[in-house]
Amino acid sequence: MTLNKHHCCSTFIFLLLTLLSQFYSVESELQLNYYAESCPNAEEIIKQQVIKLYNKHGNTAVSWVRNLFHDCMVKSCDASLLLRRVKGMESEQESDRSFGMRNFKYINTIKEAVEKECPMTVSCADIVALSARDGILMLGGPRLEMRSGRKDSKQSYLTEVQNAIPNHNDTIDLVLARFQSIGIDTPGAVALLGINTCLFLLLFFFLFIMRKII
């Protein structure tokens, strides 16, 4: 039996993103079927919108996964990534670490569909997380159960993005310092930097999650 390399990569990454979103959603009581009573069709609506957008635009599925990574790495999984610049507050989207991120407007498309069914019920943070889950499905990965109940932030954390998200222009000392901040020593960082992108993400998320749990 031959396994599809892309399928394996997306599966591993999503498993780890799922754990990341569970353990790094502060001040939230996460649970399966969180909207079972308040908005029973919420997850199905999100799934159908993800499928529709993927079939129309193609690249949206990757955007959903990257959104979840950025959102959870900066403070918590709270949709702060989606906040736009307003007077007195800058947007995380303005960071150079967010370069190449796109399709934010389609999160609004999903949100609008959910709002028609259940006004002011489903958080944007959950839409970010659940759309990533369903995006992985469109990329050939599995559909797994994901807890929900995340709360939306009213505060953007632009300065935190610089500290939390790796940058391709970072010096080796800064790269090592970033890894050390989440408990990965120099030999571990060197090992990670020497492997392919899929395994890098797999091991990076795994080590990050383990440090948060332990």
Report which DSSP code applies to 74: T
153 is in an annotated binding site: no
- The gap between the terminal CA atoms of the chain, to the nearest Å, is 36
197 is in an annotated binding site: yes
- Name the phi and psi angles at 92, rounded to 5: -60, -25
166 near 51, Cβ under 8 Å?
no
92 is in an annotated binding site: yes
57 is catalytic: no
C-alpha 85/C-alpha 161 separation (Å) is 15
166 is in an annotated binding site: yes
Annotated catalytic residue within 7, 57, 70, 168: 70
C-alpha 102/C-alpha 124 separation (Å) is 16
44 is in an annotated binding site: no
CA distances, 125 to each of 3, 22, 29, 174, 200 (Å): 33, 12, 13, 30, 26
Show the DSSP H helices in the chain as ranges: 5-23, 42-57, 60-73, 104-117, 124-138, 158-164, 172-181, 186-193, 197-213
C-alpha 204/C-alpha 189 separation (Å) is 9
74 is in an annotated binding site: yes
Q: Residues for the chain: how many in total?
A: 214
60 is in an annotated binding site: no
Q: Which residues are catalytic?
A: 70
Annotated binding site for Ca(2+): 71, 74, 78, 80, 92, 197
Annotated binding site: 71, 74, 78, 80, 92, 166, 197
